[in-house]
Amino acid sequence: MNKHSNNYRFILSIFLVFTLLLHIPAYTFAKEYEDKKADYDIIFVLDVSASMKTTDKNRNSIEIIKMMIDMSTGGQNRIGYVAYNDTITTHFSLADVSNNALRSDLKQTIDKTEFSGYTDMGLGLKYATNLITKSEAIGNHPIIILLSDGETDLSGSKSGRTDKDSRKDIESSIKTATKNEIPIYTIGLTGDYNTNLDYLKDISDRTKAISYTATSPYQLVDIFNGILSENTSSVLTPVENQTATGTEQYMDIKVSDESLSELNIMLLSEGNITTEEVLTSSKDYSVISSRTYQLIKLYEPVMETIRIKIKADKGSTIRLSTLGVYDFSDMVTIPDTVTKGKSSKITFQFYDTRKKALVSDEKLYQNLNLDFYVKDLSSGEEIKYPAIAGADGYSFEPVLEKSGSYELRTSYKGDTIFGETKVIAFDVNNNPPIKVKDIDETFAKTKTARIYNMDELFTDDDNDLLTYSIVSNQGARMETLLTQNQLSITPLATGDTTIIIQARDTAGDTATASITVKTLPIWKYHYKITITISISAAILVITVITFCIIHYIRKRAAMPKPAFTGVLVGYFLSTKEDMEIPPLKWLLTDYPNKGLSLAKLLKSRGIDTTLPDAEKIWFSPKVGNSIELIHNTRDTILIGSRTVAKNTPVIIYPSDKIFIAFEDMTTELELRYKLQ
């Protein structure tokens, strides 16, 4: 295998692991509140045993760790270092790498690392876990990165420790890391890609991290790109490969994202490489140089094409990649109240922590593939909802048919950024049943049962199916029978009785209403009525009964009979099937004077809608250019601003407008009564 090719793949593997860790996204969950972006405490643990002289004879691990330090100058990132063989040869406590002096000291310490001695992985790992757990906590996310080319080997060591001691320290380190939520990422450093590194995988698996190796050199880039796509908010984007000419040559990078806060340009080569010039309009940039790589950092880059003049060993391959950095948090907004059966608008936006403002970048949002996931905690079912993109973010309006506890998460992926928000808990509220009225009646004791419709006593804003029960029956003896929504009452004795009815919706919420009945003996119930009728009859007989009857008969014979006049004009404002229905017109004189239903009117114009309530809306002719409307439905019917009650006839005059909102909550119809 080509020596330069192995070096390049080794460098790229370490670089990609570090970028994976450095750019894990900061999550914000919201009803208008935000989580700040987390910085990192990273300890590099490097195996510096004698075998590394062969595995890493070009000291690529040393160079890459230094490059990672230079890439971590933003925020309050802290980096430390532990080098081990069968002793701790070098260490450096966590240092704020934004401090130039501390960063320089750390890099110099790492540069002095020498490869020698045997291997005691447990010793190095335990020292690193103690170093990171005993450092002052500043809210950073702790991470350990272990780089090794082999298992513990103390066969010739004079340290006095055994392989058993080392394994014990590894177990102790894993327990400490797990307790403190410190992932230990492991990198198997091997030149031929065939070393058994299962022991490294075990360490990473048990600390919820990832272990890296490669089965072939061709798979290495794919492996790390796959890892990046699962765990980071930024994407390492390959731009171009060139073959070095040995003389000055140019490579171009087009910057087309206005929301970037930083752009890292990485040039990797199998041989020596230098940056001669960077042609850019960005005012703030730096070039960090090493033998086999060049790292160019642009701060607040402008949209342009950047040209880089470079020089590399003739025949070597120059690989150009970019890594964009966004100072973004994720902002998810959920309404304060989410109600069952009603749509609620939920939004996702980026919040620029540098500019302290929501991001309005239509191009950025349009290039994202974003989905909302809503999980019903009672059933465990999770449903994916596609989002609607806009200039200021994404939104969706779910209608959740069950009340209870839910969880929301959002995942997004684009060409240069992706991530997943934290899980947000929210509740879907239920509207309980509402009492419409109580009933208070007096009637005579008979064997005839009185029937009451419970649907007239209660309503439910969620249109839940209500179930009814009798929770109390106090007073005179009564025979009661409750069947679904019908209550039958037959008095068995005179006196007062109060029955308490409870309505329960599908969520278990309840309301109560009372039916108070005063039962009288028949003679007492009809006593006043009898007296009144007798007196009135006597007076009528003595004075006017004959005259009134004759006059009434003559007047009745002369009175015109009620007949339909005028026209009705109908306009469908909305339909359940979203059908477009043109205005309708009915000449009422074409219809029999005994009356007709709205369903018949619609059918006569070929409108075959699924509106069963239309049969219960009835029009009858009246004398004097008017018609009568009566209905027995739960629809909302207005004449002008007046509500038409159920089973209550209403007279409609010319120019009156009738508005009907059907029970299906969608279909709406307006009727206008005219003489012409």
Summarize pLDDT for 449-493 with one digit per residue, the tens: 889 999 999 999 888 899 999 998 888 788 889 999 999 988 888
* pTM recorded for the entire structure: 0.57
Axis-axis angle for helices 198-206, 163-179 (nearest 10)? 30
Question: Dihedral, CA atoms, 557, 562, 563, 564, nearest 10 degrees?
Answer: 170
Same domain for 423 and 441, yes or no, is no
Residues 6 or more apart from 400 whose CB is under 8 A from it? 338, 340, 341, 344, 374, 376, 406, 428
Strand order in the sheet with 584-587: 584-587, 567-574, 668-674, 657-661, 636-639, 642-643
Identify the CATH number of the domain in which residue 632 sits.
2.60.200
- CA–chain centroid gap for 517, Å, is 53
Residues 6 or more apart from 470 whose CB is under 8 A from it? 480, 482, 487, 499, 500, 501, 502
In a domain, 240, yes or no: no
Average pLDDT, the chain: 84
Nearest to 17 by CA among 106, 171, 144, 108: 144
Domain end, chosen from 204, 232, 260, is at 232
Half-sphere exposure of 106 (CA within 13 A, CB side): 29
Calculate what percentage of the chain has a pLDDT beyond 90.
42
- Distance (Å, whole) CA 473 – CA 514: 10
> From the CB of residue 48, how many other CB atoms can be counted at a distance below 10 Å?
26
- Distance (Å, whole) CA 400 – CA 332: 18
Nearest to 650 by CA among 612, 672, 622, 615: 622
> From the CB of residue 651, how many other CB atoms can be counted at a distance below 10 Å?
12
Residues 6 or more apart from 557 whose CB is under 8 A from it? none
Q: How confident is the model at residue 309 (pLDDT cuts 50, 70, 90)?
A: very high
Residue 255, SS3? strand
> What pLDDT, in 10s, does the model give residues 334-366?
999 898 888 899 999 988 888 888 988 888 888
In a domain, 469, yes or no: yes
> What pLDDT, in 10s, does the model give residues 164-211?
999 999 999 999 999 999 999 888 877 554 456 788 899 999 999 888
What is the pLDDT at residue 219? Answer: 39
Same domain for 352 and 501, yes or no, is no
Domain end, chosen from 384, 399, 429, is at 429
Contact 452, 515 (CB under 8 A): yes
> What pLDDT, in 10s, does the model give residues 545-603?
777 777 777 776 667 788 889 999 999 899 887 888 899 999 998 888 888 999 999 99
Residue 127, SS3? helix
> From the CB of residue 569, how many other CB atoms can be counted at a distance below 10 Å?
14
**Token pair recorded at residue 306:** 């950047």
What is the pLDDT at residue 568? Answer: 94
Residue 642, SS3? strand
Same domain for 133 and 180, yes or no, is yes
In a domain, 643, yes or no: yes
Assign residue 484 a region: left if phi > 0, alpha if psi is -120 to 50, beta otherwise? Answer: left
Residues 6 or more apart from 436 whose CB is under 8 A from it? 456, 457, 458, 459, 513
Identify the CATH number of the domain in which residue 492 sits.
2.60.40.10
Contact 462, 399 (CB under 8 A): no
Nearest to 348 by CA among 416, 386, 390, 395: 395
Q: How confident is the model at residue 21 (pLDDT cuts 50, 70, 90)?
A: very low
Residues 6 or more apart from 200 whose CB is under 8 A from it? 146, 148, 186, 187, 188, 211, 213
- Total tally of structural domains belonging to the chain: 5
Same domain for 517 and 533, yes or no, is no
Same domain for 139 and 156, yes or no, is yes
Same domain for 18 and 82, yes or no, is yes
Higher pLDDT, 649 or 495: 649
In what helix (H) or strand (E) does residue 44 lie, and over which residues does it extend?
strand 40-47
In a domain, 323, yes or no: no
In a domain, 541, yes or no: yes
In what helix (H) or strand (E) does residue 537 lie, and over which residues does it extend?
helix 527-542
Same domain for 406 and 479, yes or no, is no
What is the pLDDT at residue 9? Answer: 54
Contact 505, 429 (CB under 8 A): no
- Distance (Å, whole) CA 436 – CA 455: 9
What is the pLDDT at residue 123? Answer: 96
Same domain for 466 and 382, yes or no, is no
Contact 671, 627 (CB under 8 A): no
Nearest to 308 by CA among 287, 326, 324: 287
Nearest to 270 by CA among 2, 5, 591, 646: 5
> From the CB of residue 270, how many other CB atoms can be counted at a distance below 10 Å?
23
Same domain for 52 and 116, yes or no, is yes
Domain that holds residue 534: 527-558
Higher pLDDT, 432 or 421: 432
Domain end, chosen from 232, 249, 267, is at 232
Counting DSSP H helices and E strands in the chain, the numbers are 13, 44
Residues 6 or more apart from 558 whose CB is under 8 A from it? none
Task: Please tell me the chain's helix, strand, coil percentages from 3-state DSSP, rounded to the nearest 5.
Answer: 25, 40, 35
**Token pair recorded at residue 594:** 């005994």
In a domain, 37, yes or no: yes
Residue 417, SS3? strand
What is the pLDDT at residue 230? Answer: 43
Please say if the pLDDT value at position 222 is more than 70.
Answer: no
Residue 231, SS3? helix
Side chain identity, residue 79: I
Same domain for 390 and 506, yes or no, is no
In a domain, 291, yes or no: no
- Distance (Å, whole) CA 603 – CA 597: 10
Strand order in the sheet with 626-631: 596-597, 617-622, 626-631, 650-652
**Token pair recorded at residue 184:** 């230990």
Higher pLDDT, 27 or 183: 183
Same domain for 611 and 658, yes or no, is yes
Identify the CATH number of the domain in which residue 123 sits.
3.40.50.410
In a domain, 472, yes or no: yes
Q: Is the dihedral of CA 314, 276, 303, 366 positive or negative?
A: positive
Same domain for 518 and 532, yes or no, is no
In Å, what is the CA distance from 52 to each residue of 1, 114, 155, 189, 449? Answer: 18, 9, 17, 9, 99
